[in-house]
Structure 1
Amino acid sequence: MREPRSAGFWPLAIVFALFVLFMYGPMFVIFVLSFQGPEGGLTFPLRGFSLHWFRQLAEGLGTVDIGAAFRRSLAVGVVVMGLTVLLSVLAGLAFRKKLRGGNALFYVTVASLIMPSIIVSLGIGLQFRLLDGGIKWLLEAVGATETLENYGTALGLFTSALGAHLTWTLPFGLLIMFAVFNRFNPAYEEAARDLGATPWQTFRHVVFPLIAPSVIGVGMFGFTLSWDEIARTSQAIGDVNTLPLELQGLTSTVTTPAIYALGTVTTVVSFLVMAVAVGLAMALGRRSRQRGRVPS
């Protein structure tokens, strides 16, 4: 027989249900309202059911090129994901040994998490404007007049904006990898070296398969955090906009469910990335268990 529920179960269950509703209710409402008919509005009740607003979104929303903004966000998200994984894994490996100044380097790296995002963005934007001034002065000094006339700015998607996104994604990646390597058993590496494996072979065949699920998680964090980033991008993007910035701008000009359709598309992309990450982690876990079975 099952034990009876404690007196505090139902109050806690109600609080938890309200918390889940508060977290995911707005997303569900936007998802539902994006499927309204051509006469649909921004509030309930629904007026018809169709894909009309998704088709309008594909055709474009006035002067805003949603397709180009989507491609820019996707491209920078992939690059940020790759760099976050690479730098986090390398830093995790490096910090396994005692480093001179390692503590200071660690605190400097994670300090951006406690800085207001808009201040970080303003600082990066100012740095690159100063860099623009230095480059223009240098071009003028060497007499490169034609290059100077064609020079715009160093601010851009894969320069300042990329750096701004990394100040947000790298601390999370580093903290994850530090936690992983903190409980990593070095006996596996010692056994591989005893069997004659080189450092690269040890990492490829021993270390990486064991940390692969965590690496996938770091990649997922890197992409999703970059995909949704607004504040750190706003002052450091230059002359173009990412999809979240376009979405923010459209909230004051678009008064149709097309804005909800755009929100639904961006949310679906985030869920797809998470699903791929979970699927890869599960596949790696299954493969590891199969390798660990000893035939009878």
Structure 2
Amino acid sequence: MQTREGRAPGFWPLAIVFGLFVAFMYGPMFVIFLLSFQGPEGGLTFPMRGFSLHWFRSLAAGLGTVDIGAAFLRSLMLGLVVMALTVLLSVPAGLAFRKKLRGGNALFYVTVASLVMPSIVVSLGIGLQFRLIDTGMKWLLGAVGAQDLLDNYGTALGLFSSALGAHLTWTLPFGLLTMFAVFNRFNPAYEEAARDLGATPWQGFVHVVLPLIAPPVIGVGMFGFTLSWDEIARTSQAIGDVNTLPLELQGLTSTVTTPAIYALGTVTTVVSFLVIGLAFGLGLLLRRRSRTVSP
């Protein structure tokens, strides 16, 4: 029942709660944005002292011994690889699970189990596995007498080995759950019509199925990149002797006492928003094209 003003009795209390929730979620981000644009005399707290791009120039010049540019490129490359693999593995898995598979339920629960496992435990387990691989490789090289290879062997831990696996344990379950939901609503009549017209299974997928599921696939890629881009816990024990940008940012919080740390946070957040905006833009473009092509 509505009041004379047209609002339900509980509208304003719920609106206030929602407003407080939004402020709690996004308020700290906007505070960091503001403080990163301070002048040279700015500090880590309010009030702001001037307005300039000084701390972004300071960030570009480097923060002590930390190579921010290299860490940025490492995180960017890792995020792109994670994004590609998440899409390439999630889509075929979604197609496969449309049919009854022997052991499919067990495989599904094993896949999504990493979502409920503490991230640091997953990271420790992956790091331990790769250290065991190191031990085995060194023993094997010593047993076959490959002394030169043994002397030059470092570790199997790395950006595109252990760290990549750690990130996929986080992104793949989200991708799989998304594709399961997509194919659960997908009408197989489109594929049957393509087969009736002489299309092979591959042609049916490329020309019929993929255009219809393209927006969700783009969303899976966006999730893959953004989850990898911001990941710390699953990377911490599985990265080896290099650091991604979030790990460098975490380390700098205890050593950098200027708004340059806020400038770095602003840059990383802007990259995430750009990826999200690009994903939404591609999704809208594909929807418009599908509506234009359809009779």
Q: TM-score range by the shorter chain?
A: over 0.9
Q: Which residue of 1 aligns with 2:220?
A: 218
TM-superposed CA distance for 1:138, in Å, is: 0.4
With structure 1 as the length reference, what TM-score do the two structures score? 0.98
TM-superposed CA distance for 1:3, in Å, is: 6.2
Q: Which residue of 1 aligns with 2:236?
A: 234
CA distance in 2, matches of 1:187, 1:7: 47
Q: Tell me the number of residue pairs that the alignment of Structure 1 and Structure 2 aligns.
A: 292
SS in 2 for 1:40: coil
- 1:87 is matched with which residue: 86, 89, 107? 89
When the two chains are superposed, the root-mean-square deviation of aligned CA atoms in Å is 0.8
- Equivalent positions of 1:1-296 (< 5 A) are 4-292=6-294, 294=295
Q: C-alpha deviations, 1:163-210, integer Å up to 9, x for none?
A: 000000000000000000001000000000000000111000100000
CA distance in 2, matches of 1:3, 1:199: 59
Q: C-alpha deviations, 1:80-99, integer Å up to 9, x for none?
A: 00000000001001111111
Give the partner amino acid of 2:179.
M
CA distance in 2, matches of 1:257, 1:3: 47
CA distance in 2, matches of 1:4, 1:99: 54
CA distance in 1, matches of 2:289, 2:6: 41
Q: Percent identity?
A: 85
Give the partner amino acid of 1:261.
A
CA distance in 2, matches of 1:8, 1:102: 46
Structure 1 gaps of 5+ residues are: none
CA distance in 2, matches of 1:261, 1:177: 36
SS in 2 for 1:239: coil
CA distance in 2, matches of 1:88, 1:73: 22
Give the partner amino acid of 1:231.
A
CA distance in 1, matches of 2:131, 2:44: 40
CA distance in 2, matches of 1:50, 1:96: 55
Give the partner amino acid of 1:168.
W
Runs (4+) of structure 1 moved beyond 2 Å? none
CA distance in 2, matches of 1:181, 1:265: 36
SS in 2 for 1:185: coil
CA distance in 1, matches of 2:167, 2:61: 29
With structure 2 as the length reference, what TM-score do the two structures score? 0.98
Q: C-alpha deviations, 1:211-237, integer Å up to 9, x for none?
A: 000000000000000000000000000
Give the partner amino acid of 1:187.
A
CA distance in 2, matches of 1:58, 1:23: 29
